[in-house]
Amino acid sequence: MMLTILFFFTAVTAREMQQVSPVQKVLQMMGDMKTKAITEKNAEQVNIAKFSTFCENTDASRTKAIAEGKAQEEQLTADIMKFSSDAKVLGEEIGKLGQQITLAEDDKAKAAEMRKQEHTDYVNTHAEYIENIDDLQVGLDKLKTMMNHAPGAAAASLIQMTASKLSLNSAKKVLLSFLAEGSSSERMLAEDAGLEVTAPEAAVYEGQSGGIIEMMEQLGSKLEDEKEALEKEEANARHSFDMMTQSLTDKIEQDSATRKSKVSQKKGKEMAAADAKGELAETQNSLAEDTKYLEDLKTLFNQKQTDFNSRQELRQGELEALDKAIEIIAGGAVSGAADTHLPAAFVQRGTALVQLRSGSRAPSQTAVSAYLKAQGQRLNSKLLSALAIRASDDPFGKVKKMIKDMIIKLTEEATEEAEHKGFCDTELTTNKQTRDFKTTTVEELTAEIEQLTAETQLLTAESADLADQITAIDAAVAEATTNRNAEKEKNQKTVADATAAKSAVEQAMSVLKTFYDKASQATALTQQGGPIEYDDRALAIMHGASLLQTKTKTKGPGDDVPETFDKPFTGSGGEGGILGMLEVILSDFERLEEETTTSEATAKRDYDTFMADSHEDKSVKAAGVKHKQNRIVKLNSDNASAKKDLKATQAELDAALEYYEKLKPSCVDAGESYEERVARREAEIQSLGEALKILAGDSV
């Protein structure tokens, strides 16, 4: 019996496959089209969501890169201008230093040439003095011998011969005046030479040698004094030249060192400017590329979005048209008419089956019930099991309609679930992209906030350090100004003291020379025991100069009893002693004044250089502080904006997570996968189709 039913079922199935109506084929084709359209529509939504996410991420990264590139471009442009300006200023300063060095070297060379000429003149004059003094001494010795043994005309001849050897006109004229008969003009020449000369008669040569010998001794002393004066003048000139040469050498060395330093600084500025220009070119190229890329991306995004909207609108129209068509085809107007008229033989067989059911159940109905029950157990389908029970109890026509309605219902459920699947795929994909993008954005914003905070802290520390350096510069400038004022005041006082001391020494020397002249004239009186009148004013000035030089206190008359003397007074130590000391003192004060003046000029130049360098350094550091403060303000603004964006993005991420939790029950945690439900539903539809075929075969 079972073999017969199985054979019958197989035969009915084969015939039913050959007799599928055109309406059923159309419905099946439209159902397939709708499924395909939904799948493609969902795929387009997923793809455009991915594309949009990519565009958003790229736009954010490229916009940020463009902003950073513009900021870097502005900074590099400012750096190039600063480096170029510094190099130009250094070049001008180097040129000025070169001119100063050249001028100092020229002055040094000219001074050396002048000093060489002065020294040559001194050597010649000094040799002439030595030669004349020697000749005069030889003549004096011969005269003394001759006056003792052969006085008279021979002495005059000796004086004339001695005068002819002398090269100094003043000394020669003095001697020749003694050979004349005592004219007033010749006496005046001797007096102009500083000698007391009385032209004696010829008898004087024979009777007395004292006047002639004394005159020649005075002439020798005068030549010695002139020679010593010439030597002192040479020593002072040499000392002045050495000081001036050393000052010029120091200035040349200082200016050369400064120029070398500035040349190095200028080269560094030029290299920094060149590096900044290269970096600027790279930055501008990158900026142009990023800008062009972003513009092209925005154009592409707009075009894609427009195309997507048009395509989605068309696809939605297609789905709506398919739904309407399926509704019309599956409705009574089409499907009912098909059941009535297509095919006619199949309808006639249905009528005959109705007539045959008047008293008993058709065998095909029993076969359908058994088949549906077996399929329900095999597929674990409650729907087929329930339908098997209904098929065994309901009339034949009702069972057939019920199976057809069930097929339509399952088809509609498959369509609805496909749409729900597309919705879930789209929403889950979009939600995942949103969650991933927002998570990445939160992480990037968090990292950006940390980076901005760290940079702000670093700039704050650097700004504070620069402020401390500016404070240190101000303190150093204040200290240098205080020291400079004190040094200037001290130098001014030293120069004033030296000037006053020079005046006092010169005045003392003048008084002492007058005194010594009087002392020399008073020698005869002292020999006769006459009183000596001391010049208290000269002694007071002398003691004052000595005190200024030696810083010692002389004893007053009341301290000790004055010492007595037993020989004529000719001056304290003689004219050469005290006046020579005063000349040394005068030279010391002149050197003190010159050295102090030079030291003051050097100190002022060093102070001015220090002040200029400090001002420039302070200006650079102040500009650095201002730049860093502006950057800190910008960073704080960016940090606040980033925190605001982080808060908003975190809220969006939380919303996306919450929405994901809502999607999970229907799209993720459904228990049975979408593929399993589709396979089960297709098996149920196929089983119901087989049941219809069995019913159709039974009618035959």
Q: Would you give the end-to-end CA distance of the chain in angstroms?
A: 19
Contact status, residue 73 vs residue 288, Cβ threshold 8 Å: no
Contact status, residue 94 vs residue 262, Cβ threshold 8 Å: yes
Residue 300, in any domain of the structure: yes
**Overall number of domains in the chain:** 1
Share of the chain above pLDDT 90, in %: 27
Whether the CA torsion 84, 90, 94, 95 is positive or negative: it is positive
Q: Tell me the C-alpha to C-alpha distance, in Å, between residue 360 and each of 52, 388, 393.
A: 67, 18, 12
Arithmetic mean of pLDDT, 1-13:
38
Whether residue 236 is predicted with pLDDT greater than 90 in this model: the reply is yes
- Rounded distance, CA 128 to CA 226, Å? 12
Residue 89, in any domain of the structure: yes
Arithmetic mean of pLDDT, 319-326:
67
Q: Residue 324's pLDDT is what?
A: 64
User: What's this model's pTM, rounded to 2 decimal places?
Assistant: 0.36
Position 243 confidence tier, pLDDT thresholds 50, 70, 90: very high
Residue 288, in any domain of the structure: yes
pLDDT digits (tens, 9 = 90+) for 215-225: 778 888 888 88
- Rounded distance, CA 321 to CA 311, Å? 15
Q: Tell me the C-alpha to C-alpha distance, in Å, between residue 596 and each of 536, 575, 610.
A: 33, 31, 20
Residue 67, in any domain of the structure: yes
| Domain hosting residue 131, numbered range | 43-313
Position 24 confidence tier, pLDDT thresholds 50, 70, 90: low
- Rounded distance, CA 203 to CA 197, Å? 16
- Rounded distance, CA 121 to CA 115, Å? 10
Q: What are phi and psi of 562, to 5 degrees?
A: -60, 145
Q: Residue 636's pLDDT is what?
A: 94
Q: Residue 141's pLDDT is what?
A: 81
pLDDT digits (tens, 9 = 90+) for 353-404: 333 343 345 566 677 667 767 777 776 776 667 666 766 665 655 666 777 7
Arithmetic mean of pLDDT, 258-287:
91
Whether residue 199 is predicted with pLDDT greater than 90 in this model: the reply is no
Assigned token pair, 331: 């409705």
Assigned token pair, 224: 């010695």
Residue 294, in any domain of the structure: yes
CATH number of the structural domain spanning residue 169: 1.10.287
For residue 548, give the nearest of 560, 536, 540 by alpha carbon. 540
Residue 464, in any domain of the structure: no
Arithmetic mean of pLDDT, 692-697:
71
How many residues are there in the chain? Answer: 700
Q: What are phi and psi of 374, to 5 degrees?
A: -65, -40
Position 589 confidence tier, pLDDT thresholds 50, 70, 90: confident
489 burial (CB, 10 Å; 0-12 / 13-18 / 19+) is exposed
Q: Residue 51's pLDDT is what?
A: 83
Residue 697, in any domain of the structure: no
- Rounded distance, CA 416 to CA 684, Å? 16
- Rounded distance, CA 71 to CA 280, Å? 11
Task: Give yes or no for a cis peptide into 343 (omega within 30° of 0).
Answer: yes
pLDDT digits (tens, 9 = 90+) for 28-74: 666 776 787 788 778 878 888 888 888 888 888 889 889 998 898 89
Q: Residue 140's pLDDT is what?
A: 79
Whether residue 626 is predicted with pLDDT greater than 60 in this model: the reply is yes
- Please give the residue that has the higher pLDDT: either 205 or 654: 654
pLDDT digits (tens, 9 = 90+) for 494-516: 988 888 888 887 887 787 778 66
